[in-house]
Structures are given as C-alpha cells and as structure tokens.
Amino acid sequence: MVSLLKSDFGVTVNKQSMNERFNKNCETYVKAVLKEVWSEKLANIYDTSFLSGFSRILIKDSTKFMVPPSLEHRFRNSGGNCGGDRHSRSNAGVSIQYEYDLKSGKINDLNVTTAVRTDQKDAGETASNVEKGDLIIRDLGYFSTPVLKSFIESGAFFLSKLNSGTNVYDAENDLVSFKNIYATFKKKGFGTKEMSVFIGRKTKVPVRMILQLVPDEVYDKRIREKTRTNRDNGLSGNLAEETKIRCRFNLFITNAEKAQLAAEQAFPLYKLRWQIELQFKIWKSVFKINDYRKIKEHRYTTFLYVKLILIIVNLQISYGVQLSVALSQKDRFKVISLNKSMKTLKNLFREVFVMLRGNHRKAKDATLYIRSRLAENHWLECKNKKLCFPEILKLFICYSDK
C-alpha cells in the first residue's frame, strides 16, 4: 500500500503511519461512503413495461461468513459455520443483509451486522422501509405474519412461499385440509389451483394461496430431506401426516390481485429471487469478501466496506451497460451476465478508477473502453432446458405489454 501510494499518487508515508490510519474515524468515513454509493438512483435496466403494475420489485436475502476470532466482541456468531466449511466452528461471524430493486438494480438496504441477528428479526425491524406499490420477494427465513400484515397496511405487496408450520383458514375460520385439496387435485386432474384464505393463528392475514402439484420424485426428495433434518435436530424421523401432504405442493401466498400477478406468473417470478444468491456467490468467489486473516478490528472492517464499495460500483457499471445496450437494440432482448462482467471489471480496476477520477478526456476514453468490453461477449446464455433468467424476464415483459 505504501509503495502504491508513492508510485501512483506521489504520497510518501511509512508503514507504521499507514497502519495507524486504520482507526475508528477511517471506518466511519468509509462506511459513510458506502452508504452514499448504494443510495445512488438508477433507471429501469431492462424494460419500462417489466412488471409495470409494481413500483419496485424488492428482493432480499442475507449472506453470512466467519471473521477473525479477535472480532468476537463485535461480531458474535451463533456457533454455526457461517457459510464456511460445515465442520468448522467460530465465535465470530458477520451477516450482510442485502435488498435491491430488480427493476432498477438500486440497493434498498445493505447492512453489516453480527451473525446472530436472524433474518426474521431483520424483517420485523425493517418492515417500515417498504413503500406503497412495492412487491417484496423473500425466502422463508424472513417469514412473519405480522410483517406481512404490515406490508398490506402500507399498500405494498408480497410474494412468498408458505411456511409449512403456518395455519391456513377458510372464510368460515375452519382449518384448510390439504389432504382434501390433494384428493381434489387427483380426482379432477388439477395441476394448479388458487384459493382465498387467511394465514396465521393470532394474526390472521388475508392472502391468495396458489398451489402447484409437484412430481412424485420431488415429493420423495422433500420427504427424505425433512426426515434427515428432523433426525439431525434430535427429533423423530416420523413426519406428521399434514407435513407429508403439504410436501405434495409448491405453496405460494400473495396479496396481489390476479390482474397484477396471475397464478401462472407466481412460480417463475419467485425463481428470480435466486439472482441474489448468485450475487452472493460472486461476492465470495470473485471479490473474496469472506476471506480473512488476523488483522486489527478497524482495518478489517474498513477492508470489508471498501470491498462492498467496489462491488456496488461495478454492479452499477454493469447495469449501465445493460441499460445502454437495451435502448440501442430494442429488437433483441439481452441480459448481461453479472458473473462475467464482475470478473472483467475486477481485472479492469485501473480503468474503472480512471473512469471515476480521471480528467474528462481520460474518463471518457476509459468509459467507452469498458462499455465495449462488456457489450462484446458478457451476455447470459441459456444452456439447459429450464427457464433461464432472460427468458423469465421476457415472459413478464410480454405479460405487461398485454
């Protein structure tokens, strides 16, 4: 670092002075820069007709990883593996809560916390951040009927899987029998069905429940996994009949009207949630955000925030290229591969730096060079028989145009 400062910026500083600069003030400053960067406003990056019935499509998830044991006083871990080797244990771990708008790519939340803070707790503490017209998509870790009720009261919408332990009631306040529903599916040959129901024992939330029958091989796999999970947790391997029956279905709930979100749209739309998992994979494999060595607290946290800044800036560049290409090629629908673009942008760090901090001519040249590199061969390709990300996006753009 000392050598780089001298060669690139003509700044002379010794190693000890450099180390001392990694203090609480440095961490506070870099954290503020991070907030400034992720708060940037962005335009729609795919098509203005993409799910136009919702103002934002907010996808949220968390990623966890271990940190140096010396940070245990600040980042406690529950004793799990925090995304590392399943046999490893640490008393120090970080959780990053990350939420972004699928339509614009704008980040709505980026919060570094201790690993013991659960997703469900985060859901309760950030429920007021949603806005009227938002569609919130999260996994079951955030599931909470009071939080879903608060979304409805805020004029927001949600699409979620149904927690297997949540009670479901009909209009007469009677428990819904999934056994009877399954019998009806088999008798009438249904593949998909939706019902207006209430969920929750204390906080009854009105929802549309969408059911999709799964193949027998999927059902058998679910039963094996639930049985193994029960045994790992010291419980009986015998599953309750209600649990087995629910495994026959994909169960989704939403408060969106049919005109906004048709039943057949719910399943592919929920698959888009996987994009946030892919981003976490890039954070760890490309930017090594989960790598650590024994260094002092403020130096570690500063490095962590700086890596997040670099990730976000590169995401914004990727989305900018996506938007510019989409506008220039309206007859072709292409989606940039974040995995490819982030790898390239990491290698083009000096060009990115010049683009952001160079004089006008150099910045323009660097921008055009980066755009040409990403627009050349950094697009997602569909290589299997399942619906891929571009195909799902195009499906909803087509729906929105009708």
Q: DSSP assignment of 317-335, as one string?
A: HHHHHHHHHHHH-TTS---
For range 107-124, the mean pLDDT: 94
| Residue 132 CA to its chain's centroid (Å) | 20
Q: Percentage of the chain with pLDDT > 90?
A: 63
**What was the pLDDT predicted at 288?**
93
* Most confident of the ranges 43-52, 186-195, 384-393: 186-195
* Most confident of the ranges 236-240, 263-267, 303-307, 331-335: 303-307
pTM, full prediction: 0.88
Cα 174 to Cα 167: distance, rounded to the nearest angstrom? 10
**330: pLDDT confidence band, cut at 50, 70 and 90?**
low
Q: How far is CA 350 from CA 33, 345, 367, 376, in A?
A: 19, 9, 12, 20
For range 385-393, the mean pLDDT: 76
pLDDT of 399 above 50: no
pLDDT of 17 above 50: yes
The answer to which of 50-59, 177-186, 232-241 has the lowest mean pLDDT is 232-241
For range 361-376, the mean pLDDT: 93
pLDDT of 86 above 50: no
**What was the pLDDT predicted at 326?**
67
Extract the tokens encoding 257.
Answer: 């009207």
Q: How far is CA 106 from CA 43, 50, 103, in A?
A: 8, 15, 8
For range 149-173, the mean pLDDT: 94
The predicted-structure confidence for 199-244, as pLDDT tens digits, reads as follows 998 889 999 999 999 999 999 999 998 888 888 877 776 778 888 9
For range 99-126, the mean pLDDT: 93
What are the start-end ranges of the E strands in 166-223? 168-169, 192-199, 205-213
- CB neighbour list of residue 65: distance below 8 Å, 6 or more residues apart: 82, 83, 84, 93, 94, 284, 289, 290
**What was the pLDDT predicted at 94?**
93
**What was the pLDDT predicted at 126?**
95
**400: pLDDT confidence band, cut at 50, 70 and 90?**
very low
pLDDT of 78 above 80: no
Cα-flanking dihedrals φ and ψ of residue 97, to 5°? -85, 125
* Most confident of the ranges 87-91, 325-329, 349-353: 349-353
**19: pLDDT confidence band, cut at 50, 70 and 90?**
very high
Q: What angle do CA 116, 117, 123 make, to 5 degrees?
A: 155
Cα-flanking dihedrals φ and ψ of residue 210, to 5°? -110, 125
Question: What are the residues facing 194 on neighbouring strands?
Answer: 210
Residue 113 DSSP SS3: strand
pLDDT of 80 above 80: no
**What was the pLDDT predicted at 85?**
45
Mean pLDDT of the residues in the chain: 88
Q: Output Rg (C-alpha) for the chain, integer angstroms.
A: 24
**What was the pLDDT predicted at 270?**
93
pLDDT of 385 above 70: no
**What was the pLDDT predicted at 81?**
57
For range 59-69, the mean pLDDT: 92
